[in-house]
Amino acid sequence: MIPNPALGVFFHWLGGLASASFYVPYRAVKRWSWETYWLTGGIFSWIIAPWLLATFLTRDLLQVLFEAPGKTIFWTIFFGLLWGVGGLTFGLTMRYLGLSLGMAVVLGLCAAFGTLMPPLFAGVFGSQVLGTSSGRVILGGVFVCLLGIAAAGAAGILKERRLTPEQKKAVIQEFDLKKGLAVATLSGVMSACFAYGLAAGAPIKALTVQHGTPSLWQGLPVLVVVLIGGFTTNFIWCLALNIKNRSGFEYFSARAQQNAPSQSTVALETAIDAPAREVVEHIPGPAKTDTPGVPMLANYLWCALAGTTWYFQFFFYTMGETQMGKYGFSSWTLHMASIIIFSTLWGLGFKEWRGAGAPAMRFLTLALVLLVGSTLIVGYGNFLSTAGAH
């Protein structure tokens, strides 16, 4: 298959749209704790959707996984586990730095590490990136992406400065720059491990193609393995919260818990991942004595929609990666940029930037321009590579 970087950029935009949109269905979930609806949606994100699509779109899925070297399976799952840790610490970053500054630091580190570390580990950074004109163009696109993330962070900081003292206390009650930067560094580096997991799964891709699967779908079996690790981390944490908060009954009972404590603190401290979305705004408040019943079927359907939508970000990611030629590592920058672009547009659509002020909006506009530009620059660099430029 001849790579098509323009098509690859389009696939990455679709993945970014899916990642930025998946939390919207969660807003419709009624009277469930964060850990309940997150794990329910996650079962579709990390288990059901990956296995179903890989089974139907690839050949001999189980045989491919059995033939894959044990070392490959281990490292792919291991990086998935670490990626899960990055998502869990993301909420703590928001707690200590606030949304805007925390988001900028985490996503900036995630974009940089997730894009640059794979070629560094492979020993091709000097020859393929710095040593070629196409590689240098892609590196320039990565730099522009980081500038766009920084501009988005600056816009968020300017927006927060317009909040009242009471609002600031509610948003960043425990602001701690040193502690926040330490946690943000951990979160950003660990979140980038998803890219490492995909790179570690390269032998699985090769086996998939050998078994007759079209190249476009070769990454789907790797997602199955990486997400086993991600599921494990999230399952353990959510189960622990179900036990701690006595919310496990919510999976089975349509009766709302009476006098239940608010889950806002838990949700903020444990909001997951992904590196490219806003913390979920839907946080159930304290239940009252005469609360109506829980719409169980609707909640499960909304969680299924949210979880499946989340998975599609990496479904399209793997498709886009096949179109980027030898610079597949640049896909991570396209992924990060696309997520921020579409999550920002969602924020504008939901009026989250109302009253932010002209300076904040100018930085936000600059961020969007830089991020869109970065995807075009990275795509052009990959085009130069496929066109034979050096």
Give me the mean pLDDT over the 154-159 stretch: 80
Centre a 10 Å sphere on the Cβ of residue 69 and count the other Cβ atoms it contains.
Answer: 11
The reported pLDDT for the residue numbered 173 is 60
> 29: which residues sit within 8 A by CB, 6+ positions away?
37, 282, 299, 302, 303
Q: How far apart are CA 8 and CA 30, in angstroms?
A: 38
Q: Which whole-number Å values give the CA distances from 203 to 8, 155, 222, 323, in the listed order?
A: 21, 42, 9, 18
Give me the mean pLDDT over the 120-134 stretch: 75
Split at pLDDT 50, 70, 90, the class of 288 is very low
Chain centroid offset of residue 18 CA: 10
Q: How far apart are CA 288 and CA 261, in angstroms?
A: 10
Q: How far apart are CA 84 and CA 80, in angstroms?
A: 6
Split at pLDDT 50, 70, 90, the class of 371 is confident
What is the rounded end-to-end Cα distance, in angstroms, of the chain?
21
341 vs 98, residue with greater confidence: 341
Asked whether residue 16 carries a pLDDT value surpassing 70, the answer given is: yes
Asked whether residue 280 carries a pLDDT value surpassing 60, the answer given is: no
The reported pLDDT for the residue numbered 274 is 41
Q: How far apart are CA 51 and CA 59, in angstroms?
A: 12
Split at pLDDT 50, 70, 90, the class of 282 is very low
Retrieve residue 137's tokens: 């163009």
Sign of the dihedral defined by the CA atoms of residues 77, 78, 83, 86, in that order: positive
Asked whether residue 262 carries a pLDDT value surpassing 50, the answer given is: no
Give me the mean pLDDT over the 276-281 stretch: 41
The reported pLDDT for the residue numbered 172 is 55
Global pTM value: 0.80
Give me the mean pLDDT over the 158-168 stretch: 67
Asked whether residue 141 carries a pLDDT value surpassing 80, the answer given is: yes
52 vs 174, residue with greater confidence: 52
Q: How far apart are CA 267 and CA 284, in angstroms?
A: 9
Asked whether residue 125 carries a pLDDT value surpassing 90, the answer given is: no
pLDDT tens-digit profile of 289-339? Answer: 455 688 999 999 999 999 999 999 999 999 988 888 777 777 888 888 888
Share of the chain above pLDDT 70, in %: 81
Q: How far apart are CA 247 and CA 230, in angstroms?
A: 22
pLDDT tens-digit profile of 93-116? Answer: 766 766 556 666 777 778 777 777
Judged by phi (left if over 0) then psi (alpha if -120 to 50, else beta), residue 389 lies in beta
Retrieve residue 352's tokens: 């989250």
Identify the CA nearest to 330 among candidates 273, 383, 275: 383
Split at pLDDT 50, 70, 90, the class of 257 is low
Map out the domains of the chain as residue ranges.
5-383
Which of the listed ranges 105-109, 254-258, 285-289 does the model predict with the highest average pLDDT? 105-109
* Half-sphere exposure (Cβ direction) of 23: Cα atoms closer than 13 Å: 22
Give me the mean pLDDT over the 351-360 stretch: 79
Which of the listed ranges 29-38, 39-48, 170-179, 191-200 does the model predict with the highest average pLDDT? 39-48
Sign of the dihedral defined by the CA atoms of residues 9, 10, 12, 17, in that order: positive
Asked whether residue 285 carries a pLDDT value surpassing 60, the answer given is: no
> Range with the lowest mean pLDDT among 32-36, 95-99, 189-193, 216-220?
95-99
Q: How far apart are CA 274 and CA 285, in angstroms?
A: 24
The reported pLDDT for the residue numbered 266 is 41
